[in-house]
Amino acid sequence: MATNKFLLHTLFISFLLAAPQCYSDRPVLRATMTRSEKTIDFTRAVRRSHERLSMLAARLAATSGDASAQAPLQQDGGGEYGMTFSIGTPPQQLSALADTGSDLVWLKCGPCTQCAPQGSPSYYPNTSSSFSKMPCSGGLCGVLKNQSLAACSAGGDECDYLYSYGLSKSSHHYTKGYLSTETFTLGTDAVPDIGFGCTTMSEGGYGTGSGLVGLGRGSLSLVSQLNVGAFSYCLTSDPSKSSPLLFGSGPLTGPGVQSTPLISVPSPSLYSVDLQSITIGNVTTPGTGDSGFIFDSGTTLTYLAEPAYTLAKAAVLSQTDLVRAPDQDGFEACYVAPSDGSDTAAPPMVLHFDGADMVLPVANYVVDVGDGVVCWIVQKSPSVSIIGNIMQMDFQVLHDVENSVLSFQPANCDNL
């Protein structure tokens, strides 16, 4: 238990070489992400995505200049992804919401009768030999204390956190409990001493799993704690399959790899990039530039701020050769679905990032919202711009935290 390949390898690199690290030398840890439902209910997806957008924007406004912004997580059943992994000794297998928009990892602990989400299994510390409470002197406790999100109790033996999502004044979206450490098992690799929140009370919408796995760029996140430098996911468009989530995967190789720098606007803890322009058919419109475009696993739709939204929408409307259907649920470019199921009537769509082009499959931006209607998946944002999980489907997306680069490549996710 005390020695495993991962730990030895990390120690070797960190202490013997003491040289700049190359993350591609580290082992790859494999987990999976699974969408909570096979068919997305777009009415719920819109509501959930919109709430996530507005609370994220409110929080960013409230903490501008502060690296600690956390994204909120709202409403279940709108196309979110759960990450499957095991925790403890012997391992307890759980699934928890995979969220690149926040950092803290937390799980419902014990009976947790006043916890959201309800109905999902809990982690039981009392049946694990590798569980420990994190003392107040623990490094991650210091990170939370610095943000006034934790306090010491039990004479310094316990670090109690209250971590809220969205507006700090909101009392209805939070998780609270005590910080702990455990062995996390990803695929076949056991990694000891991962700090996480043992939650005893929570409110809010966190999917259908047992908590949340923060995959952001801050020090509390699973990505930072695994010290892997980079992680990637490939969200499959096949609803019957799960999607690979790889920690420590090296630079993407082969045809079609595109890379763009991560930028620190609107927050250095998010995976934001410079969207310079958008080509729809034969029309190119401005992107969101250095205001940022956030790659987010936890939002289902895609949002563009003005004027990017209205100009891109006009390009879609003027070049789509289908019968218009009424606007619905914030979608403003809807059409009667072609009876032959063809998608060629929609103009091609390409996102141009700083140094990288993303040529989108039609299924990534024209979605079937039911009742014979298809809609362009982009909606207007009054604040931040987000590329949601549908638009990222069938690409391997590498989040290279160490080098502040985001890369992607068209991929058959089942082959990774």
State how far the alpha carbon of 271 is from the alpha carbons of 81, 260, 292, 415, in Å: 17, 11, 9, 25
Token duo for residue 7: 């730990």
- Restricted to residues 9-48, the positions that interact with ligand NAG (CB under 6 A) are none
Q: Of these, 64, 66, 90, 111, which contacts ligand NAG (CB under 6 A)?
A: 111
Residue closer to ligand NAG (CB basis): 348 or 370? 348
Q: Which of 76, 274, 296, 394 is catalytic?
A: 296
Under rule CB under 6 A, residue 126 binds ligand NAG: yes
Q: Which stretch binds ligand NAG (CB under 6 A): 82-90, 123-131, 156-164, 182-190?
A: 123-131
Active site residue 296: yes
Pick from 27, 77, 110, 135: which binds ligand NAG (CB under 6 A)? 110
Compute the Cα dihedral for 371, 376, 377, 383 and give only its sign.
negative
Cis peptide before 117 (omega within 30 of 0): yes
Q: Which stretch binds ligand NAG (CB under 6 A): 54-62, 139-147, 267-275, 357-365?
A: 139-147
Dist CA 342 CA 320 (whole Å): 13
Nearest to 112 by CA among 44, 199, 49: 199
Q: Is 135 in the site for ligand NAG (CB under 6 A)?
A: no
**x/- binding map, residues 307-346, to ligand NAG, per CB under 6 A?**
------------x---------------------------
Token code pair at residue 56: 């994220």
Q: Please identify which residue in 64, 93, 137, 146 interacts with ligand NAG, judged by CB under 6 A.
A: 146
Q: Tell me the closest approach of the beta carbon of residue 145 to ligand NAG, in angstroms.
A: 7
Nearer to ligand NAG, 261 or 281 (CB): 281
- 143 binds ligand NAG per the rule CB under 6 A: yes
Can you give the C-alpha Rg of the chain in angstroms?
Answer: 21
Q: Is 263:49 a contact under the CB 8 Å cutoff?
A: no
Contact, 128 vs 110, CB < 8 A?
no
- The mark string for 56-95 relative to ligand NAG (x by CB under 6 A, - otherwise) is ----------------------------------------
| CA separation for the pair 26, 9 (Å, rounded) | 7
Per CB under 6 A, which region of 67-75, 122-130, 193-201, 268-276 contacts ligand NAG? 122-130
| 219 burial type by CB count under 10 A (0-12 exposed, 13-18 middle, 19+ buried) | middle
Residue 129 makes contact with ligand NAG by CB under 6 A: no
The CA angle 79-81-85, to the nearest 5 degrees, is 160
> Which residues are the active-site residues?
99, 296
